[in-house]
Amino acid sequence: MIKIAPSFLSADFRNIQKEVKKIESAKADMIHLDVMDGHFVPNITFGPMIVKDIKRCTKLPLDVHLMVENPNFYLKAFKDAGADYLTISIESEIHLHKTLSQVKDLKLKVGCALNPATPFDLVKPVMKHLDLLLLMTVNPGFGGQKFIPDVLNKIKCAKDFIIKNKLKAEIEVDGGINPQTAKLVVKAGATILVAGDAIFKSKDYKKVIKRMRDLGKIQL
C-alpha cells in the first residue's frame, strides 16, 4: 500500500486552512512538514507554532521532518505542537540512538532521514527502532528540486534489509517526487511518497495523489 504525504512547504501559506482542507479532500494520508533552521540546511521555514496551527485544522497525521541542528532540544515542543511522526536527520545528531529513544519515549512514531550521499550502512544499527526510514531524493533545503536517481539503489538495499530482518520500518522518499519519479521509487521499495510541488503546484491535487497512490496497485 502506498501512502501520500504532501509536503506543505509548497503550499500557499496565505491560506493554510484552505490548503489543508484541499489535501484532505484529495485523500492525502498524512501531511509532511519541513522544519529548517538555517544551519543544518541553507533555508529557514517554521517551528512548533505553525505545526500547532496546522494541527488545529486537521485530523490527518502530521509527519514532521526536522532539518535542524541539535534536534534533541526541540522534541518535546513538536510533540506538544501535535506531531505524530518525528524524523531526525542522521547527519545532524552525534547521539542518534539516544535521540531516537527520546522520540519513542514521547510516544511518537520515530523516523530517521539520510541525505542522498549518506550510505545506508550508517543507519543499520538503529533500523530495528525505526517506524520510518526517510531517504532523501534531493539535498534537503528547498522544494522544487530535481530527483536524484542515485538514491534508487539505496532504497533497494534498505528494502532488502527490512525484509531480511523482518523489520517494521516503512521507507519514505522526499524530493523531486512526481508521478514519473514515483514509479521508480515505488518499484525500488518506497511506500510513503512525499511530494511538494507536484501536488501543490498542480491544478488537481486529487488526480496527482491518486496517480501516485495507484502505483501500488499495479505491477511495475
Decide: 194 and 5 in contact? Cβ < 8 Å: yes
Closest residue to Zn ion using C-beta atoms: 65
Quick one: what does residue 213 bind among Zn ion, ligand DX5, none, with the CB cut-off 5 to 8 Å set by partner type? Answer: none
Annotated catalytic residue: which of 29, 37, 63, 174?
Answer: 174
Tell me which DSSP letter residue 138 carries. Answer: S
The nearer residue to ligand DX5, 7 or 72, going by C-beta atoms, is 7
**174 is annotated as an active-site residue:** yes
Which residues 6+ apart lie within 8 Å of 197 measured at CB? 10, 143, 144, 178
3-state secondary structure of 6: strand
What's the gap between Cα 194 and its chain centre? 6
**34 is annotated as an active-site residue:** yes
Spatial strand order of the sheet with 109-114 comes to 3-6, 192-195, 170-174, 132-136, 109-114, 85-89, 62-67, 31-36
Annotated catalytic residue: which of 29, 34, 37, 131?
Answer: 34
Residues 114-153: x where in contact with Zn ion by CB under 5 A, - otherwise, as a string: ----------------------------------------
State the cell numbers at 170: 516503512
State the residues that interact with ligand DX5 by CB under 6 A.
7, 9-10, 32, 34, 65, 138, 140-145, 174-177, 194-198
The nearer residue to ligand DX5, 110 or 125, going by C-beta atoms, is 110
User: According to the binding rule CB under 5 A, does residue 174 interact with Zn ion?
Assistant: yes
Residues near Zn ion (CB under 5 A)? 34, 65, 174
Positions annotated as catalytic residues are 34, 174
